[in-house]
Amino acid sequence: MTEAPPGIEGPGFVATSLDKVIGLARSNSIWPLPFATSCCGIEFMATMGANYDLARFGSERLSFSPRQADLLMVMGTIAKKMGPVLRQVYLQMAEPRWVIAVGACASSGGIFDTYSVLQGIDRVIPVDVYVPGCPPRPEQIIDGVMRIQDLVKNESLRRRNSAEYKQLLAGYGIQ
Ligand code: SF4
């Protein structure tokens, strides 16, 4: 919240900026797209269950359609052959979109330092938050979602049109 302009203070008035209202709304209604290829996906299932309850963040509505998702959660080992598929899913998501790499495999290839495994999804798409662990516990996944909420809440509405953001995407060959 910001300071109320003079003359409109007192009970019944709230002053804020459009950026903050939109950030608050977006951060409490994130629709995740779970891209789960192996064991970390099982931890995500636990995170969605009643005990950990990701729904408390307004994220209970999982989207298996990229066009209706804000947050791409990549969980599991990503083979190099799967890289273009992951990239296509990312491209089909509308802006603003965010990405979490859940677990060691998605973040860095994990223990699979082999010819066939992508050594981190940031080789093909930009990543906002990395969650360590093999597998990470549901608490860690929830912490990753909360870090995304911080980013969403504080992101300027102009960021996606900025030269820096366009440069970041251009680095991945994305227009
Ligand atoms: S990080 Fe560990 S638990 Fe997660 S997908 Fe890789 S091997 Fe499985």
131 lines ligand 1 (CB under 6 A): no
Amino acid found at 103: G
In a domain, 3, yes or no: no
DSSP per-residue letters across 41-81: HHHHHHHHSTTT-GGGGT-----SSGGG-SEEEEES--BGG
In a domain, 53, yes or no: yes
In a domain, 2, yes or no: no
Rounded to an integer, what distance in angstroms lies between the CA atom of residue 107 and that of residue 77? 9
- Give the count of domains, the chain: 1
Summarised one tens digit per residue, pLDDT across range 108-166 is 999 999 999 999 999 999 999 999 999 999 999 999 999 999 999 999 889 999 999 99
140 lines ligand 1 (CB under 6 A): no
Kindly tell me if the per-residue pLDDT of 171 is higher than 90: yes
> In CATH, what number is assigned to the domain containing residue 121?
3.40.50.12280
Domain residue limits at 98 = 8-171
In a domain, 138, yes or no: yes
Atom in ligand 1 nearest the alpha carbon of residue 38 = 5
36 lines ligand 1 (CB under 6 A): no
- pTM confidence score: 0.90
In a domain, 1, yes or no: no
Using the mean position of ligand 1's atoms as its centre, give its distance from the Cα of residue 62 in Å.
Answer: 21
Tell the residue nearest (CA) to atom 2 of ligand 1: 134
Summarised one tens digit per residue, pLDDT across range 5-49 is 666 666 766 667 888 899 999 999 999 999 999 999 999 999 999
